[in-house]
Amino acid sequence: MIKKFFITGTDTNVGKTIVSSILLKKAAIAGYKTAGYKPVSSGCQKKLCSFLNDDAVILKKSSSIVLNYKEVNPISFIENAPPHILSALQKKHVKKEELSLGLRMIIKKSNWILIEGAGGWYTPLSYKDTFSDWVKEEKLTVIIVVAIKLGCINHAILTEKAIISEKIKCGGWIANNIIPKDKYNIYYIQTLLSYIKAPFLGEIPYLENKNKINFKKIKIKLPT
Helix/strand/coil (H, E, C) string of 147-216? ECCCCHHHHHHHHHHHHHHCCCCEEEEEEECCCCCCCCHHHHHHHHHHHCCCCEEEEECCCCCCCCCCHH
pLDDT value at residue 49: 61
CA–chain centroid gap for 204, Å, is: 15
pLDDT value at residue 48: 63
Is 91 marked as binding a ligand? no
Instruction: Please say whether the beta carbons of 2 and 76 come within 8 A.
Output: no
The rounded distance, in Å, linking the Cα atoms of 30 and 27 is 5
pLDDT value at residue 102: 97
The rounded distance, in Å, linking the Cα atoms of 217 and 11 is 26
Q: Which helix (H) or strand (E) holds 8?
A: strand 3-9
- 78, part of any domain: yes
3-state DSSP call for residue 43?
coil
- pLDDT in tens for each of the 224 residues of the chain? 999 999 999 998 999 999 999 999 999 999 999 999 999 999 888 776 688 999 999 999 999 999 999 999 999 998 989 999 999 999 888 999 999 999 999 999 999 999 999 989 999 999 999 999 999 999 999 999 999 999 999 999 999 999 999 999 999 999 999 998 788 999 999 999 999 999 999 999 998 876 777 777 788 999 98
The rounded distance, in Å, linking the Cα atoms of 168 and 51 is 34
pLDDT value at residue 121: 96
Residue-number span of the structural domain to which 149 is assigned: 3-217
Query: Where in the sequence numbering do the catalytic residues fall?
Result: 38
pLDDT value at residue 123: 94
pLDDT value at residue 46: 76
Domain count across the chain = 1
- 224, part of any domain: no
Is 207 marked as binding a ligand? yes
Is 156 marked as binding a ligand? no
Is 117 marked as binding a ligand? yes
- 223, part of any domain: no
- 93, part of any domain: yes
- 133, part of any domain: yes
CATH number of the domain encompassing residue 11: 3.40.50.300
pLDDT value at residue 207: 87
pLDDT value at residue 68: 96
- 73, part of any domain: yes
pTM given for the model: 0.94
- 94, part of any domain: yes
3-state DSSP call for residue 132?
helix
The closest of 128, 156, 152 to 142, measured between CA atoms, is 156
Instruction: Please say whether the beta carbons of 201 and 143 come within 8 A.
Output: yes
